[in-house]
Structures are given as C-alpha cells and as structure tokens.
C-alpha cells in the first residue's frame, strides 16, 4: 500500500522539495508518492504552507495530518475548517540558521560595529572599547525551540541572558521568567531584547509603548519573531526619542514591507527581508518524513500545535 503525500505548499517551492521529500520518506521506510496535485480523497498527508492551493480542509477527510512547512502557524491555526492534527516545523537546520542570525545581530550592536564599518573616514576613534559580553544583559522573549537555542548560544559567549515564556521554564545558563511580572523584570534590565515569540492573540502587540518605555534607555530591539509583536508607531516614536537605540527587524505586519514604509528610511532601523532562518527542503523533508512514518506506525506526531494556545 502506498500513501499519498500532497505537497500543498506552492508550486514555486516544489523543485526544492520534490526529490528530497520522496527520498526522505523512502528512507523512513514508508512507501509513498509525493504529488503536487491530488484529489481531496487521495491525500493521506498534506504538506502545507500559506498561499498554497488549500484554504478549506473539509474535503480532505482522509488526511491523517497537516504538516506545516513553517515554524510559525498563525496563518493556519485559526482555520475553522481544519480538524486534522496540525504539526509545525522544528528542524535543526532552521534552529542553526536562527542562532547564527540572532548571534550576528546581537554582536553587531554589542560591539558597536556600525561606528567603524560606516564611519571609516580617516578619524582614529581610539580609546572607546566595547564592554565585554558579561556586562550586557540580553533578554530573549520566547523560550521555545528557537529562543532556547539562541539563549544558550548567547550565554555561551558570556552574555547574561534572561528568558521569558508563558509557562515557567528552567533552561541551564539562562535566568528564566514567566507571566506579566516576569516580563516587567526582564524588559527593565534588557540592553538587547530578542523577540522569538509566536504571533497569537496574547502576543499581538506585546511590545507596546509602555513596555518599550520600561526598557533601559538606548536599548536595542531585534525581532525575528513576527512583525505584529511590536507596535510600529510606538517603536518609531521611541527610536526618535532615543529611548530605543536601534531596531533590527526581519518580520513585518505587511510582507513584503511596502517601499513607502517609514522603516525603510529610518536611520536607526535595519530591515532584513524575512530571511533570519529559512525552512530548507533538504533538512525539512526529513522532519516531515519522520512524522509520516509516525502516522503510519500509529505513533504520536512530533511538534503538534496546541490549537487553543495558537502555537
Ligand atoms: P515555540 O512554539 O517552540 O516557542 C514559542 C515560545 O514562545 C515558548 O517558549 C512559549 O512559551 C512562548 N510564548 C508563547 N505565547 C506566549 C505568551 N503569551 N507569553 C509568553 N511567552 C509565550 O516556537 P519556535 O521557537 O519554534 O518559534 C518562535 C517563532 O519564531 C515562530 O512562531 C515564528 O513566528 C518565528 N520564526 C521566524 C523565522 C524567521 O525567519 N524570521 C523562522 C522561524 C520562526 P511556553 O514555553 O511556555 O510554551
């Protein structure tokens, strides 16, 4: 018996996944055909990304799981037609990419690299060495797969790393906090704050004007989480007032970020085009294949989304 895996994640991504997915599923010991087109009755598993061909999941009555290509599920989790189990992407390569992106941008700001990279104009700016990492408190909001890995990497470089999550956590090397009072504690001390929260009803605009004002003056905000975690207008006002020293933003309320958006021109904002860490066909296919193997073996799926919590 062969299972049908419907790649409902967009034709443009198909070339990246076609061969990797077929190979990974075969390697997992499952006899499958991976197709770009399937009738609803045929689909045993759905590999999903927003913008693909499925919006209504009701006809896919035989599908045993919907396997989301992205770590973030805000574009599918509220879909009332979805009754099948929903799994999100957790992948060592995705995590490694995020650790590198976050570490790089934290170090850029910590070391004040811009002064020398952008200001190479014959002036010898000696005598102002950056502090060492142990003097620079960093906060990671969100202690999931990505937040924990980034926190551990930064702690490994010597930064005092505070973490914040919904439920209380203990992560070796990190000073962990939860709940509203935990957020107050963490933000009030964070010279650099990294946002790695999912976008949910609870986290929408979590970094609002009051919370931005509670951070140390000149603090840096780094957001590879989701654009809507931050109040854009409050951020712009805080940058103009010097309350925030710089914001490095990878994600935005509207993507692509419109050319007329003030973030593009702002001297204290760095825009990167949602490239902090990509899901790559070669490694993500193995994650998907393992979940299909589990489905066929009657084992529980990995990385199931809690529909009630929204992540
Ligand atoms: P996880 O689901 O593993 O972790 C989410 C973390 O956020 C958990 O620690 C969770 O708390 C915490 N959290 C959720 N809601 C709240 C809340 N209301 N208050 C406090 N903490 C909360 O997600 P990942 O680490 O895998 O990914 C995080 C996000 O990163 C994704 O959702 C996505 O938006 C973004 N992302 C961005 C990419 C990019 O290229 N820019 C690439 C990949 C992901 P608890 O531990 O208690 O559950």
pLDDT per residue as tens digits for the range 202-250: 999 999 999 999 999 999 999 999 999 999 999 999 999 999 999 999 9
**8 Å CB contact between 125 and 148:** no
Q: Which of 117-121, 146-150, 169-173 has the lowest mean pLDDT?
A: 117-121
Tokens of 105: 């941008």
pLDDT at 151 over 90: yes
Whole-angstrom distance, CA of residue 144 vs CA of residue 147? 5
- Phi/psi at 275 (5° precision): -125, 10
Strands (E) in 106-240, as ranges, are 138-141, 161-165, 175-178, 192-195, 219-223
At 306, the pLDDT band (50, 70, 90 cuts) reads very high
**pLDDT at 125 exceeding the cut of 90:** no
User: How much is the ipTM here?
Assistant: 0.99
Distance CA 101, CA 66 (A): 29
Task: Please tell me the distance from the alpha carbon of residue 87 to that of residue 85, in angstroms, as a whole number.
Answer: 7
The sign of the dihedral angle between the CA atoms of 248, 254, 257, 263 is: negative
Give me the chain's average pLDDT, please.
Answer: 97
> Which tens digit of pLDDT belongs to each residue from 16-51?
999 999 999 999 999 999 999 999 999 999 999 999
CATH fold for domain 3-91+279-297: Rossmann fold (3.40.50)
Q: Residue 152: what pLDDT? A: 98
pLDDT of residue 184: 98
User: For residue 284, which of 46, 101, 24 has the smallest C-alpha distance?
Assistant: 24
What are residue 48's DSSP bridge partners?
8, 68
Output the residue whose Cα is nearest ligand 1's atom 44.
71
- What pLDDT shows up at residue 1? 83
- In the chain, which segments carry CATH 3.40.50.720? 3-91+279-297, 94-271
Find the 173 Cα to ligand 1 centroid distance in Å.
19
Buried b / exposed e over 27-63, threshold 16 CB at 10 Å, is ebebebebebebebeebbbbbbbbebebeebeebeeb
Distance 32 CA to ligand 1 centre (A): 32
Residue 305 has a pLDDT of 98
308 is catalytic: no
In the chain, the percentage of residues whose pLDDT exceeds 70 is: 100
User: Residue 127 pLDDT more than 90?
Assistant: no
**pLDDT the model gives residue 124:** 93
User: The domain 94-271 belongs to what CATH superfamily?
Assistant: NAD(P)-binding Rossmann-like Domain (3.40.50.720)
Catalytic status, residue 13: no
pLDDT of the residue at 65: 98
Q: Could you give phi then psi for residue 216, rounded to 5 degrees?
A: -60, 145
Residue 185 exposed, middle or buried by CB count within 10 Å (0-12, 13-18, 19+): middle
Q: What's the pLDDT at 27? A: 98
Task: Specify whether the backbone of 167 is left (phi greater than 0), alpha (psi in -120 to 50) or beta.
Answer: beta
Average the pLDDT over 130-146 and give the result.
97
Q: Render pLDDT for 250-282 as a digit per residue (tens, 0 to 9).
A: 999 999 999 999 999 999 999 999 999 999 999
Give CA–CA dist 226/200, Å, rounded: 10
**Are the C-beta atoms of 195 and 141 separated by less than 8 Å?**
yes
| Structure confidence by residue, pLDDT tens digits, 51-87 | 999 999 999 999 999 999 999 999 999 999 999 999 9
Segment 79-99 mean pLDDT = 98
Q: In whole angstroms, how large is the CA radius of gyration of the chain?
A: 21
Question: Is a pLDDT exceeding 90 seen at residue 288?
Answer: yes
Specify the pLDDT at position 109: 98
Q: Assign 128 a pLDDT band (cuts: 50, 70, 90).
A: confident
Residue 76, SS3? coil
For atom 41 of ligand 1, which residue has the closest CA? 224
Catalytic residue among 18, 274, 280, 307: 274
Distance 169 CA to ligand 1 centre (A): 14
Q: Which residues line ligand 1 (CB under 6 A)?
A: 71-72, 90, 94, 142-147, 165-167, 169, 196-200, 202-203, 224-226, 250-251, 274, 276-277, 311
């Amino acid at each position: 018996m062969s299972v049908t895996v419907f790649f409902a994640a967009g034709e443009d991504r198909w070339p990246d996944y076609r061969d990797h997915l077929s190979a990974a599923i075969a390697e997992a010991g499952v006899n499958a055909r991976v197709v770009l087109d399937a009738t609803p009755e045929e689909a045993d598993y759905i590999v999903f990304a927003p913008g693909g061909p499925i919006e209504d999941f009701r006809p896919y009555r035989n599908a045993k799981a919907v396997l989301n290509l992205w770590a973030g599920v805000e574009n599918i989790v509220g879909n009332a037609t979805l009754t099948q189990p929903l799994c999100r992407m957790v992948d060592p390569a995705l995590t490694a990419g995020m650790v590198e992106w976050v570490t790089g941008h934290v170090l850029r700001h910590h070391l004040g690299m811009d002064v020398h990279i952008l200001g190479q104009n014959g002036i010898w700016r000696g005598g102002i060495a950056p502090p060492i990492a142990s003097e620079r408190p960093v906060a990671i909001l969100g202690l999931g797969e990505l937040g924990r890995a980034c926190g551990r990497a930064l702690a490994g470089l010597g930064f005092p790393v505070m973490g914040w999550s919904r439920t209380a956590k203990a992560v070796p090397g990190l000073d962990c906090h939860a709940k509203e009072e935990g957020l107050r504690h963490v933000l009030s001390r964070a010279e650099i704050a990294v946002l790695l929260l999912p976008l949910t009803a609870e986290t929408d605009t979590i970094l609002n004007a009051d919370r931005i004002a509670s951070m140390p003056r000149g603090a840096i905000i780094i957001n590879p989480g989701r654009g809507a975690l931050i109040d854009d207008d409050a951020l712009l006002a805080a940058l103009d007032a010097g309350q925030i020293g710089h914001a490095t933003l990878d994600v935005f309320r509207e993507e692509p970020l419109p050319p007329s958006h003030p973030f593009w021109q702002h001297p204290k904002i760095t825009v990167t085009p949602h490239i902090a860490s990509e899901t790559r066909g070669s490694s993500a296919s193995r994650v998907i294949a393992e979940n299909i193997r589990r489905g066929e073996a009657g084992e529980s799926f990995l990385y199931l989304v809690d529909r009630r919590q929204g992540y």
